[in-house]
A and B are shown apart, each in its own frame.
Chain A
Amino acid sequence: MSQIALEHVRELAARKSKAYQLLLALEENPQADESCFQSLGQIVDRILFNEISLDGGTLDDLRGLVTSATPEVESTLAVLALALSEAEPDRGSIQVLLAGYPKWLRSVSAPRGPTSWGFCRVSPCI
C-alpha cells in the first residue's frame, strides 16, 4: 500500500479510533493477504459505525489475533467479520463478540481438554 495511505491510517489510529491500530498491525503480518484486509476493514467499519469503544484488553487480544502469523488468520478474520454483521445492530452482542472471540480462539486452540464450550459462557449470542 502507498505511504500516503499508510500515513492516513496512522493519523486515523492516533486521532479517530484505536481500532485503526489493528489495520496497521495487520500490515506487519506476512500471512495477511487482500482478503484479510477486506475482512478487517469491515470489522473496523462496524466498530466505528456502532461506536464501540475497545478497552485495552480487548484491543490487545484483537491485535494478537491479527498479528498471528498463521494461515488461519484469513478465516479467523472472515468469521469475525461475518459474526459482527449478524450481530448488528445489537451493540451489546458486538461488544461481546469482540471481547470473546479472541479468548474463545485461544481456548479451542489450547492443547489441553475440550474447552470450546467456554465461548458459550462468554457469548450467549453464538
Chain B
Amino acid sequence: MQESGVDALIACLNACTSAEDCEILAGCVDRYKETSGGILISAAEIAGVAIRTDSRPLVERLIAAVSSEAMFDSKAARELLPALAKLETASAIGVCVAVAEHNHSSALNLARHLESSLGSMKPQTRGAYLNAFRAIVEEAGVSLLGYGTKQLPALFQKAGEERATEFVAQGVAIAHRYGRLAAEEFLEQKTAAAKGASPLG
C-alpha cells in the first residue's frame, strides 16, 4: 500500500467517534487484509459510510456477501469493493450488497450503473427508491434487476415516493407469499389487478 493509501486508512479511522466504530471499521479492513491496498481502502471507506449513516449492519452483510476468498477466484468480486466505495450513500451500497449475496458480476454491473438510474431524482426520492429496490432484491432475487434500474426509477419519479413505495410493498408481499415469478408479473403490471394497483395504471 502506498503512503497516500495509509493516510486514507488513517483518515477513515480518525473519522470514527467511538471505540466500537473503530472496531467495526478495523474489523472490516482486517477481513480483506490478504487482498490489495485498493480493496483495503475501499473496505474502510464503505465501513465509514455505513458508520456515518448509522447503517452498521451493512458491514457484516458486505463481509458475508463478498469474502476475501471469493476475490481470489473472481475478478468481479475483486472489482466490487472499489466500485461500491464510489457510491455516495449507504442505501446505494446496500442495494448492491443485496445483489452481491446472489451474484458478484451482477452487483458489480449495478454498482457501475446505479448512479445513472438515480438521474435527477430528489435526495428523499432517491432514498425511498433505493430502499424499495433493495426490498425487491432481498425478497425476489436478481431477476428483477432490469426492472429495478429502468421501470422502478420512472415509477418513483412519476408517481411520487409514497404511492410508488406502497405499490412495491404489495409486490414484495406477493413475492414472499406466492413466489418470485408472481411478483415479477405484478411489478411489471402484467395483470389487470396489477395495473389497477399501480399508481401509473
Residues of A within 8 A of B (CB): 1-2, 4-5, 7-12, 15-16, 20, 23, 34, 37-38, 40-42, 44-45, 48-49
Contacts and interface: CB of A to CB of B under 8 A. Distances in A.
B119 interface: no
Interface in B178-194: 178-182, 185-186, 191-194
A5 B191 contact: no
Contacts of B182: 8-9, 12, 20, 23, 41, 44
Interface stretch (B4-12, B122-130, B169-177): B169-177
B194 A8 contact: yes
A36 B33 CA distance: 43
Contact of A41 (B170, B179, B193): B179
A49 to B, nearest CB: 7
A41 B178 CA distance: 5
A-B interface, 6 closest residue pairs, ranked by CB to CB distance from nearest: A41-B179, A7-B193, A11-B191, A8-B193, A45-B179, A37-B177
Nearest to A34: B177
A40 B194 CA distance: 21
Given A8-B193, A16-B185, 19 more contacts: A4-B193, A5-B170, A5-B174, A5-B178, A7-B191, A8-B185, A8-B186, A9-B182, A11-B193, A12-B185, A12-B191, A23-B178, A37-B178, A38-B176, A41-B178, A44-B178, A44-B179, A45-B180, A48-B181
Size range of the chain B interface in the assembly: 10 to 19
Q: Is the interface of B mostly helix, strand, loop or mixed?
A: helix
Given A4-B170, A5-B170, A8-B186, A38 B177 contact: yes
Contact of B197 (A4, A34, A38, A48): A4
Contacts of B193: 4-5, 7-8, 10-11
Contacts of B146: none
B24 to A, nearest CB: 32
A44 B181 contact: yes
A4 B170 CA distance: 9
Contacts of B192: 7, 11
Contact of B173 (A5, A10, A23): A5
Nearest to A5: B174
A5 B176 CA distance: 11
Contacts of A41: 175-180, 182
8 contacts: A4-B197, A5-B173, A5-B178, A5-B193, A8-B185, A8-B197, A42-B179, A45-B181
Nearest to B194: A8
B14 to A, nearest CB: 46
A34 B177 CA distance: 7
Nearest to B140: A45
A14 to B, nearest CB: 10
